[in-house]
A and B are shown apart, each in its own frame.
Chain A
Amino acid sequence: EPEVTQTPSHQVTQMGQEVILRCVPISNHLYFYWYRQILGQKVEFLVSFYNNEISEKSEIFDDQFSVERPDGSNFTLKIRSTKLEDSAMYFCASSPDSNNEQFFGPGTRLTVL
C-alpha cells in the first residue's frame, strides 16, 4: 500500500540554524500539507500546497518557513533560522484531491537546542 514517507525521523539542530525536512508524498496525489505537533499539544496546520504554489497557510507559517516541490517526488519544509519553540513533530500529508482524506507520514521530530 502506498504511503507518505518523511526523512529524517529525528533532526537535532542548534538555534539559528537552517533545517530542511523532507517528504515524499504518495505518487498520484496533488495536494500536500505540513502540520506540526508540539509535545503534549494538538496537531496544528502550517501550510497547504497545490499546483506548485501555496494554497493556504496559517499564522504560524511566517517568513521563517518556506515550502518547495523541487522535483516530481519530494516536498520540503525549510525553516530558515530555527528557534527553540520550533521544536516539535512535523507531519507531512498528501491527498489525491481536495475532497479526499489526507494521508499522513510518520513525522520528523525536530529538536532545537
Chain B
Amino acid sequence: AQSVTQLGSHVSVSEGALVLLRCNYSSSVPPYLFWYVQYPNQGLQLLLKYTSAATLVKGINGFEAEFKKSETSFHLTKPSAHMSDAAEYFCAVTTSDTGRRALTFGSGTRLQVQP
C-alpha cells in the first residue's frame, strides 16, 4: 500500500519569497514520486518527477524537489515565488512495480502568493 501526506492545506508566501511545500510518502516498494499543479478550472500539469535517478529533480517554472529516502520526503521548493505560482499543488506516488501505475495523490496544498 502507498500513501502521501501533504502538510499544510494552505500556504501563503510573499512574492519573491521561498516556496516550500511539504510531501511525505509511504510505500512498501521503491516509489516513483510526482508533483502536479492545478490552476483554477484546469487539469493537472506535471511539474516534476522522481523515478529513481537523481535525487534532486528540477522541473518546470523554476521548481525543484529532493527525494530523501531516510525522511520519506519529497518536498517541493522554489527560491522566489511569482504571482503566477498561485495554484493547488498535489504530490503523488506510484510504485516501481510493473503494471501497477495508479497514482495515489495527497490532499493538495493551495499556494497563495501575496504581492
Contact = CB atoms under 8 A, between A and B. Distances in A.
> Size range of the interface on A?
20 to 34
At the interface, is chain B mostly helix, strand, loop or mixed? loop
A26 to B, nearest CB: 13
B108 A42 contact: yes
Contact of A102 (B98, B99, B103, B104): B103
B106 A45 contact: no
A33 interface: yes
Contact of A95 (B101, B104, B107): B101
A31 B103 CA distance: 13
Contacts of B54: none
Contacts of B74: none
B72 to A, nearest CB: 19
Given A43-B90, A106-B43, A98 B101 contact: yes
B29 to A, nearest CB: 14
Interface string A39-57: 0011111001010000110
Interface in B41-59: 42-46, 49, 51
A101 B104 contact: no
A104 interface: yes
Nearest to B46: A101
Given A45-B102, A98-B98, A98-B101, A91 B43 contact: yes
Interface of B: 34, 36, 42-46, 49, 51, 90, 92, 98-108
Interface of A: 4, 31, 33, 35, 41-45, 48, 50, 55-56, 58, 91, 93, 95, 98-99, 101-107
Can you list the 7 inter-chain pairs with the closest CB atoms, starting with the nearest? A104-B44, A45-B102, A43-B105, A106-B43, A104-B43, A42-B107, A42-B105
